[in-house]
Amino acid sequence: MKIETGQKAPDFVLYDSEKNKVGLSDFKGKNVLLLFFPQAFTGTCTKELCSVRDHIEDYNNVNAQVLGISVDSIFTLAKYKEEQKLNFPLLSDFNKEVSEDYGSLYENFVFDMKGVSKRSAFVVDSEGVVRYAQVLENAADIPDFKAIDAVLATLK
């Protein structure tokens, strides 16, 4: 399914790296930046998520909660979050349902892996409406954070 700007964001509940259930609806009243990423401990994912970590105050200043989502297990994500000192929740979509709902799932990925999250970014406003959507086909590409920041600035 392709997610378009202006539509209601599909709600979900996933476990985070601390084994807590986290739902999109938990953040009603806040803007949310959903960042789907292929796999923990890979170069591009680490570069992207560490950049977000280093600029987390910018997201806090625009009332935005960042959520990282991948098909990695909660245990892998916990180790990754600890090693990279990430300061936002990482959610496990191990069953691949949320990635699929957001049109962010590779059917085939490298090394014959099936069902890996595509690198994607979605801004969901405080009412649950998608205000920005970018799904990247090339896992080596990084979302357009200037465009994301511009959208978030309008939602303050």
Which residues are catalytically annotated?
Answer: 45
Return d(Cα 71, Cα 69) in angstroms, integer. 7
Long-range contacts of 95-102 (CB under 8 A, 24+ apart): 96/71, 97/12, 98/10, 98/12, 98/14, 98/69, 99/36, 99/69, 99/71, 100/1, 101/1, 101/10, 101/12, 102/1, 102/3, 102/10, 102/34, 102/36, 102/135
